[in-house]
């Protein structure tokens, strides 16, 4: 792990603050379309995160935090295994229409994951511990049952 000062971590996080999402109304007095779509995604995401937690527990990880909010976004899961603190981004999809869930990890998302993770390490006084970022990609079938779970370890070592 690279040794970073709290100042360096804070500067990196500040530089990567996320932008707000605009939601447009359909002007018919109902919930905005983006909000409807997002709430369905939230359910799918929560289901995927529950499956990821179960998988990680079976692999001997200890859950430290779930859905940890930072000024830059959210960390899906923070787990501990051996001497590593592992930040886990979970991506869940019900269709391959837009490709693997791994394709949802854009450059902007990667920056967000890094700044969230560094914030967590700084806030917890864990700057000198071993830490890494993992991705868990989950495909669900049409009945929302687990079809494929892919665990990509050490995408980024902090």
The pLDDT tens digits of the residues spanning 44-69 come to 999 999 999 999 999 999 999 999 99
For residues 155 and 57, what is the distance between their CA atoms, to the nearest angstrom? 20
Mean pLDDT of 15-37: 40
Percentage of residues in the chain with pLDDT exceeding 70?
75
Count of domains observed in the chain: 1
Position 8 scores a pLDDT of: 46
Position 121 scores a pLDDT of: 95
Question: Token pair for residue 31?
Answer: 């919930």
58: in domain: yes
The model's confidence at residue 33, banded by pLDDT at 50, 70 and 90, is very low
42: in domain: yes
27: in domain: no
9: in domain: no
Find the domain containing 143 and state its range. 32-157
Q: With 70 as the cut, is the pLDDT of residue 119 above it?
A: yes
Position 42 scores a pLDDT of: 85
16: in domain: no
H helices of the chain, in order, are 6-15, 33-58, 107-123
150: in domain: yes
Instruction: Decide if 92 contacts 47 (C-beta within 8 A).
Output: yes
The helix/strand/coil state of 136 is strand
114: in domain: yes
User: For the domain that residue 52 is a member of, what is the CATH number?
Assistant: 3.40.1350.10
133: in domain: yes
Mean pLDDT of 76-86: 96
Task: State the chain's mean pLDDT as an integer.
Answer: 81
Position 128 scores a pLDDT of: 86
pTM across the whole model: 0.74
């Amino acid at each position: 792990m690279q040794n970073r000062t709290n100042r360096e971590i804070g500067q990196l996080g500040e530089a990567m603050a996320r932008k707000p999402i605009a939601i447009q109304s359909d002007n018919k007095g109902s919930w905005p379309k983006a909000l409807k779509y997002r709430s369905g995604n939230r359910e799918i995401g929560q289901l995927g995160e529950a499956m990821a937690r179960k998988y990680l527990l079976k692999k001997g990880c200890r859950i430290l935090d779930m859905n940890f909010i930072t000024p830059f976004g959210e960390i899906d899961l923070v787990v501990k295994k051996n001497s590593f603190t592992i930040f886990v981004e979970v991506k869940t999809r019900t269709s391959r229409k837009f490709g693997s869930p791994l394709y949802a990890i854009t450059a902007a998302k990667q920056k967000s994951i890094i700044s969230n993770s560094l914030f967590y390490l700084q806030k917890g006084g864990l700057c000198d511990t071993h830490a890494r970022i993992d991705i868990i990609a989950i495909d669900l079938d049409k009945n929302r049952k687990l079809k494929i779970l892919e665990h990509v370890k050490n995408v980024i070592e902090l």
